[in-house]
Amino acid sequence: DAKTTQPPSMDCAEGRAANLPCNHSTISGNEYVYWYRQIHSQGPQYIIHGLKNNETNEMASLIITEDRKSSTLILPHATLRDTAVYYCIVRDRSNFGNEKLTFGTGTRLTIIP
């Protein structure tokens, strides 16, 4: 079972920042937070990941709370192409035998023109 909780859907106006929350209250010290998204008819796409520090890349920013029990993915200037289902996943990278991702139901983000 997925160890994360996300709202089922969200809307965001084009050009505005999209903030997608995720709760992972049972996260352990070895577990990272990963974000993927799935645009319709495509395979999931890696966005970003982090352990305890905030992270930023060319796609998004990831803000992880100090207690690590929740995080927020930020798309700074949402475009229509960001409409997708976004998945927050916790994964133990210290266990070299455990590579799998456990997907939940995700958040369906719709960007409104």
What's the CA gap between 112 and 51, in Å, rounded? 32
The yes or no reply on residue 56 touching another protein (CB under 8 A) is no
The yes or no reply on residue 86 touching another protein (CB under 8 A) is no
Task: Write out the two tokens for 113.
Answer: 């023109």
Given 3, 49, 52, 108, the residue binding another protein (CB under 8 A)? 49
What is the CA angle 3-55-27, rounded to 5?
Answer: 20
What's the CA gap between 110 and 107, in Å, rounded? 9
Contact window for another protein (CB under 8 A) among 7-15, 23-31, 36-44, 64-72: 36-44
Contact window for another protein (CB under 8 A) among 5-13, 15-23, 38-46, 61-69: 38-46
What's the CA gap between 111 and 101, in Å, rounded? 26
Task: Write out the two tokens for 26.
Answer: 């049972």
The yes or no reply on residue 81 touching another protein (CB under 8 A) is no
CB of 35 to another protein, least distance (A): 9
- Judged by the rule CB under 8 A, the positions of this chain that interact with another protein are 2, 34, 36, 38, 41-47, 49, 87, 93, 96-105
